[in-house]
Structure 1
């Protein structure tokens, strides 16, 4: 044990992959063609987390504002690229730019508010706080924009005739797309709201569980979990609002014609 945490050990660590074998067996028996994706996902997850562990060990031992900012830049870059990859529809340069700007402004605004007002850790770049909180905020905002984009573009494409009919009758692009914009926002924030509803009763979140396992008082862990979840809600909402209300105009031409 180290600081009250049980050392899993190599063989018990390997034994955890039995759950992957069980999943592979199930999809094989059911004829579901997911074996390759499951193996690749498991391998990538393992390699990426091991690499991240070594990197974080170095950063925690050598705290630097430049290293912390570099980590933020890398997180934001990969999140933005992942949004482009996960959206099922072709994105124009304007929509990509809007998504990128919304991600950066939304996440950084909430991150620094969280730092300087809510927790106020010092120094401001303290990696033990800064990096995990950044990861949670950026990751959830990325998911929000991805869901919002897919819902918005999917709704407009499926209901193209209704939208174009409204435009022909004199509706503005904003009015014609309002329902789909609202649906996109609802879709983006729903996973976070569901987590809030079930948290503490249905499941204990990972960060809180980790703190409790490391010996932190459950009450202190709960305080951190609540404020971080509120920060995530704010970041997801702000990021998606920025994207939707800045980006929807690029879905129409200068002559108010649907362009998706």
Structure 2
């Protein structure tokens, strides 16, 4: 059996292991400041080490396959995990995990389809999986924040919403301001990042290309595409999540579902 790949992998892990020195520094500082975060830091890094190692072997396998089924399965797995995580953030939203998952799936799928149709990215594992990962991860955060903020704002302003409903407004009309506020708050970090990209820090995709030997001009071309797709996917996901949340917030008689807003 050829074990050359294993030898190369172990050799390549020397630098990551050496980089644990900075984690040790963080643990010592945590202990010194009595933050009680030392074990959590160790656990987090250990988990990241294991997860990234496993996913590295999985991607190595997928990249060698020509069947598009593996691309779709990897993408759906990422969406499922992201939907669960975003749903946990908005745990008081009924069927929050389902709402988040569907929203993330729709937003990222539409964005990815558009990029493939326009031939921005070829439909190959080496391109689609990393790009989809960036979109899904970003959309997960935006969707979770949107859902949680919308529910919390409606709870705080229940009297205003109920008054609007009593005057004949539809659920959408009665909560339009809360929806707008939730979307603005959720999307603002994405837009701020787009405004300051390259001025404060070099993003991951751009940094990876430069460190891999690509020219800075090639790196910025890819990064511009990445920023465009993140803004597009995040906007679609967040807007769709608000539409999917509405049915759970109101009864069939267009009244607020008070039990949704009673829990803390």
TM over 0.5: yes
Instruction: Give the alignment partner of residue 35 of structure 2, picking from 32, 56, 60.
Output: 32
Instruction: Give the alignment partner of residue 91 of structure 1, picking from 87, 90, 93.
Output: 93
Aligned-residue offset at 1:149? 1.0
Instruction: Give the alignment partner of residue 55 of structure 2, picking from 42, 46, 52.
Output: 52
Matched, 1:158 2:156: yes
Unaligned 5+ segments in structure 1 are 1-6
Aligned-residue offset at 1:215? 1.3
Measure the CA separation in 2 of the matches of 1:155 and 1:37.
33
The corresponding residue for 1:106 is 107
The corresponding residue for 1:4 is none
Say how many residue pairs are matched: 249
Instruction: Give the alignment partner of residue 42 of structure 1, picking from 42, 45, 57.
Output: 45
Measure the CA separation in 1 of the matches of 2:163 and 2:24.
52
Matched, 1:14 2:17: yes
Structure with the bigger RCO (C-alpha within 8 Å, sep 6+) is 1
Matched, 1:117 2:115: no
- Residue pair 2:93, 2:147 contacting (<8 A) in 1 also: no
Instruction: Give the alignment partner of residue 236 of structure 1, picking from 222, 234, 237.
Output: 234
Instruction: Give the alignment partner of residue 224 of structure 1, picking from 199, 222, 232.
Output: 222
Measure the CA separation in 1 of the matches of 2:89 and 2:99.
16
Further displaced range: 60-69 or 104-113: 60-69
Measure the CA separation in 1 of the matches of 2:30 and 2:163.
45
The corresponding residue for 2:205 is 207
Aligned-residue offset at 1:23? 2.6
User: What secondary structure is seen at the aligned counterpart in 1 of 2:161?
Assistant: helix
Measure the CA separation in 2 of the matches of 1:79 and 1:155.
23
Measure the CA separation in 2 of the matches of 1:255 and 1:130.
45
- Residue pair 2:99, 2:245 contacting (<8 A) in 1 also: yes
Aligned-residue offset at 1:239? 1.1
The corresponding residue for 2:144 is 146
> Structure 1 residues 85 and 37 mapped into 2: Cα distance closer, same or farther (>3 Å)?
farther
Measure the CA separation in 1 of the matches of 2:88 and 2:208.
31
The corresponding residue for 1:188 is 186
With the length of structure 1 as denominator, give the TM-score of the two structures. Answer: 0.87
Unaligned 5+ segments in structure 2 are 1-9
Matches within 5 A, 1:132-143: 132-143=130-141
The corresponding residue for 1:3 is none
